[in-house]
Structure 1
Amino acid sequence: MDSNRNYQFYYYQIYGLTLRTNRALPSLVSASSDALVNVYIEINGETDQELLPMAFIVDYSYDWHTENKSDGAYIHLCYHSDYGKLALEINSIGNKIKVDWENSRLKEVTALLVGGGVLGCAMRLQGILCLHANVVAVGQYAIAIVGEKGAGKSTTTAALAKRGYPILSDDVAALKQDGNTFFAQPGYPRLRLCESAIHTLYGSEKGLEKIFQPLNKRYVELTTERNASAWKFQSEPLSLAAIYILEPRQEELTNPSIEPVSAVTALMNLMMHRSANFLKLERKNQAREWEAFSQIASSVPIRRVKRPNDLSKLPELCDAIINDAESILAIRV
């Protein structure tokens, strides 16, 4: 993988990592070729452009397993159907990823690479804290929105983006520690939204790229223009000021509410919402991860968010989150 023979290399910055790939990957932020590379990615495969992309195939299966090699346990992730496949291998220390694909597209490879299952694995193997969360900038600080799959993280994030709050990342919150402070790292300038949220918050889904997943989601592009009034991307890391855990929507509620949680409950929730939660780290790395999350749970305000099952209540939900975040920031300042 490290041989330069017959390759042109491309460099990207995401989640505080520099990636080096042998294929150009759409929608990622370019990095300098002089940057220290954290993850080397080798992509092998071709496609028939006349075929439908796998994003339109919903009947596929997914599996993962580990393989012991001389230098440690490798993680294998595979998405496959009668139509094609995407197979990924991550080495034992998370700095090399190999991708083999059939009848797919590079944009689908990109979608899988940047998700929590792949780069989340790589980062956790490298000792980087990762949450299954979205990250939003409020002033000069970041807040993370955590929740189960389908909890509404992206919809809530989009409602804040429409109000002008910049987005650091979607689906993955990569946190790097500097002393007693944890910095949320920027992802890439896109947000994944289901069609109902697009209709409510953005407009028409026409022309928006469909995501490689058996979900009715599409990408909304974010801008780096500083003067933009909405849908902005925050390209620099920010100090993490608060974490909001979205509880399941409740039919009986009429208005959202926010309440603090204890450090013990917060720690359990953080561990439960790690990216690539299927990954079992070596004991010393597990202990290091537990210690870091314990520090976050005891030093960063963590809130439980209850809300009704009603998209029309999104403005009230945004008000509640922003008002709470601003009260936290007022104390910090």
Structure 2
Amino acid sequence: MLFRAYTLTIDSDIDLQLPKGEGKADIIIEKARFSAGKQFQTQIYRKGVRAKFGGVGNTTMLDWEGIARFKALLGNRLEYEKMTNDEGVFRLFALSEALGMVLFQRNLFLLHGSAVKIGEQATIFIGRPGAGKSTTVSAFAQRDYPILSDDLTAVWFDEKGNPYVLPAFPELKIWENTVNNLGFDKTQLQPAFEGHNKFLYQQPIANFPRDPVPLQQIIILQRPYSKQAGAVKLTQSPVELFPHFPLPSRLLEGNSLQRHFEDCIRLRRAVPIVKVPRPKNFTLLKRWVEQWPMSF
């Protein structure tokens, strides 16, 4: 089956429930058998299970014990071993950091954050756990702004060094508290299979971009009363963006670390990166989104 995500055509032997793809496959996802090899603990948790990482370079692996094991190869292949019978849970894991490893091998710049299309440009929201990323982008989704990515954002640079967000797929995971306070119709939502009180919001495919969207800015969300606000300097950009790398930190070694550092600088040269305290409640958040675009 052919699907489309991150502007790439994916040929998968499992139903990813994504928009249909066409043409020659850029990435193949299929079942295989492979040994785990030497593994290391990561900072990645899903459904309360901590992922283990193995491999180097163009052959890397993520293993969630009892759920699934994935191997990314050469930027064009994702192999898997499935231990769960829950197709929704498996899909969640396949489309998260597992696919992210393949995107990283394709030299894309990755951030743990969400991107929204506002007008003809994209804004990326990042922040530490609890900063309000998912709640913020949910407020944009409620006002029918296209959400380009949820959790994993991929940035591509053209030959002139201009950054673009690659649209992932038209869905968003939303906390139950956010659903209730922003006025989403819960009967129209699906379970998100995260093991938390989260729901899956499906956006209209007709409104979802197919092509890369020019990046306008990156917002680093701070807690409401944080005094850390303002533009990030060029020299600070690698330090500010490193904590938001969504994959195992062991991937950032040698040439990969140098490339990531240079991309942080290139990104900051092209667009502003700004620290912004998020609104302190849902009422102010709604007003904040209504008043967009804003100057920081």
Q: Same fold (TM over 0.5)?
A: yes
Question: How far 1:60 sits from its partner (Å)?
Answer: 5.3
Supply the AA of the counterpart residue of 2:6. Answer: Y
Greater shift, 287-296 or 145-154, is seen at 145-154
Quote the Cα distance in structure 1 between the aligned partners of 2:135 and 2:80: 30
Instruction: Provide the secondary structure at the position in 2 that maps to 1:121.
Output: helix
Aligned to 1:205: 186
Quote the Cα distance in structure 1 between the aligned partners of 2:101 and 2:32: 20
Distance change >3 Å, CA 190–CA 95, structure 1 → 2? same
Question: How far 1:166 sits from its partner (Å)?
Answer: 1.8
Q: Please, which of 104, 114, 119 is the counterpart of residue 99 of structure 2?
A: 119
Instruction: Provide the secondary structure at the position in 2 that maps to 1:212.
Output: coil
Question: How far 1:315 sits from its partner (Å)?
Answer: 2.2
Quote the Cα distance in structure 2 between the aligned partners of 1:102 and 1:155: 32
Q: Please, which of 310, 314, 317 is the counterpart of residue 285 of structure 2?
A: 314
Quote the Cα distance in structure 1 between the aligned partners of 2:200 and 2:193: 10
Supply the AA of the counterpart residue of 2:114. Answer: N
Query: In 1, are the aligned partners of 2:164 and 2:215 still within 8 Å (CA)?
Result: yes
Distance change >3 Å, CA 269–CA 319, structure 1 → 2? farther
Distance change >3 Å, CA 152–CA 233, structure 1 → 2? farther
Task: Point out where structure 2 has 5 or more consecutive residues left out of the alignment.
Answer: 34-45
Tell whether 2:231 aligns with 1:241.
no
Quote the Cα distance in structure 2 between the aligned partners of 1:148 and 1:233: 27
Aligned to 1:161: 141
Aligned to 1:136: 116
Tell whether 2:60 aligns with 1:74.
yes
Question: How far 1:264 sits from its partner (Å)?
Answer: 2.3
Quote the Cα distance in structure 2 between the aligned partners of 1:72 and 1:159: 38
Tell whether 2:91 aligns with 1:110.
yes
Supply the AA of the counterpart residue of 1:14. Answer: A
Question: How far 1:79 sits from its partner (Å)?
Answer: 4.1
Aligned to 2:236: 265
Question: How far 1:42 sits from its partner (Å)?
Answer: 1.0
Aligned to 2:257: 286
Tell whether 2:38 aligns with 1:38.
no
Question: How far 1:39 sits from its partner (Å)?
Answer: 2.1
Instruction: Provide the secondary structure at the position in 1 that maps to 2:191.
Output: coil
Query: In 1, are the aligned partners of 2:163 and 2:270 still within 8 Å (CA)?
Result: no
Instruction: Provide the secondary structure at the position in 1 that maps to 2:192.
Output: coil
Instruction: Provide the secondary structure at the position in 1 that maps to 2:196.
Output: coil
Identity %: 23
Question: How far 1:308 sits from its partner (Å)?
Answer: 4.7
Instruction: Provide the secondary structure at the position in 2 that maps to 1:323.
Output: coil
Tell whether 2:69 aligns with 1:87.
yes
Aligned to 2:38: none
Distance change >3 Å, CA 16–CA 140, structure 1 → 2? same
Count residues in correspondence: 283
Q: Aligned ranges for residues 176-215 of structure 1 at < 5 Å?
A: 176-178=156-158, 179-206=160-187, 208-215=189-196
TM-score, normalised with respect to structure 1: 0.76
Supply the AA of the counterpart residue of 2:51. Answer: D
Query: In 2, are the aligned partners of 1:75 and 1:90 still within 8 Å (CA)?
Result: yes
Quote the Cα distance in structure 1 between the aligned partners of 2:237 and 2:291: 19
Deviations 1:22-63 (A, max 9, x none): 12222x11111x23x332211379xxxxxxxxxxxx985323
Quote the Cα distance in structure 2 between the aligned partners of 1:182 and 1:262: 18
Q: Please, which of 267, 271, 278 is the counterpart of residue 300 of structure 1?
A: 271
Structure ID, larger Rg:
1
Quote the Cα distance in structure 1 between the aligned partners of 2:125 and 2:112: 9
Quote the Cα distance in structure 2 between the aligned partners of 1:261 and 1:72: 32
Query: In 1, are the aligned partners of 2:61 and 2:69 still within 8 Å (CA)?
Result: no
Instruction: Provide the secondary structure at the position in 1 that maps to 2:210.
Output: coil
Quote the Cα distance in structure 2 between the aligned partners of 1:318 and 1:324: 13
Quote the Cα distance in structure 2 between the aligned partners of 1:203 and 1:279: 39
Question: How far 1:302 sits from its partner (Å)?
Answer: 1.0
Quote the Cα distance in structure 1 between the aligned partners of 2:216 and 2:83: 43
Deviations 1:185-217 (A, max 9, x none): 111111110001111224343452222223211
Aligned to 2:3: 12
Question: How far 1:157 sits from its partner (Å)?
Answer: 0.9
Question: How far 1:176 sits from its partner (Å)?
Answer: 0.9
